[in-house]
Amino acid sequence: MRKTEHCRIVNFFLFYVILLTMKENSRNKVLPLILSVAVIILDQLTKCLVVKYIPRLTLWTDDGIIEILGKYVRLIHVRNNAIAFSMGSTLSQNARGLLFALMPLLIIIAVYVIYFRNNEFTKLQRWSICGILGGGIGNLIDRFFRPEGVVDFIDCYFWGIFGMERWPTFNVADCAVVVCGVIFMITFILQIIEDSKKAKKGGSK
């Protein structure tokens, strides 16, 4: 057995032992972080493959388009350095890049602090939050280390809805943020409804 493989087994065993020795409340907070790590790894791996094997899409060439399901789902290579609602448009390019890398970083740190201090989140909500944070960190890595912008590569047909022939190109990190965000919102709304029912029952007694 190679030394690196032996180290991985030992590290996994130590991580498992740490989880077992933790209190249940702490374990419920730490375990979902695995999803954050998984999203980051998958996001960066797919982006590296796209950068290496798919030429960037330009106005002059479409050689890099790979059709997965015909025109409905395609793989392309584009970079996204857009700023939402033209915020910071009067700033220099370097200033905009720094600003819109630091803002998400501060938000992510704040969410992690809330995540660990709050004991009211359900297990599903904690997994959802960690999925969202993993996606946020995945795109944040691009903001810091890819000056040309975030790598987007999933291109979907949108049937002209809202005047868009194709949905804006996205990546694995975006998928994690949207899917986990929807799950969190649904569980949050259901929790509010459940708490409201309990309050009404308690008030009627």
Q: What is the pLDDT of residues 81-136, one digit of tens each?
A: 765 544 554 556 666 666 777 888 888 889 988 998 888 899 999 999 999 999 99
The average pLDDT across 156-164 equals 85
Q: What is the CA radius of gyration of the chain?
A: 21
Residue 1, SS3?
coil
Q: Is 30 left (phi over 0), alpha (psi -120 to 50) or beta?
A: alpha
Higher-confidence position of 11 and 178: 178
H or E element that contains 162: none
CA distance readout (Å), 94 to 18, 36, 79, 145, 150: 43, 29, 16, 13, 15
Residue 160 to residue 94: CA distance in whole angstroms = 35
Helix, strand, or coil (residue 118): coil
pLDDT (mean) for 66-76: 90
- Among candidates 100, 56, 61, which has minimal Cα distance to 81? 100
CA distance 160 to 112: 38
pLDDT of residue 86: 44
DSSP letter assigned to residue 62: -
Q: Are 108 and 40 in contact (CB under 8 A)?
A: no
pLDDT band at residue 195 using 50, 70 and 90 as cut-offs: confident
Q: Are 132 and 176 in contact (CB under 8 A)?
A: yes
**Catalytic residue numbers, as ranges:** 152, 174
pLDDT at 9: 59
In the predicted structure, residue 192 carries a pLDDT above the cut 80: yes
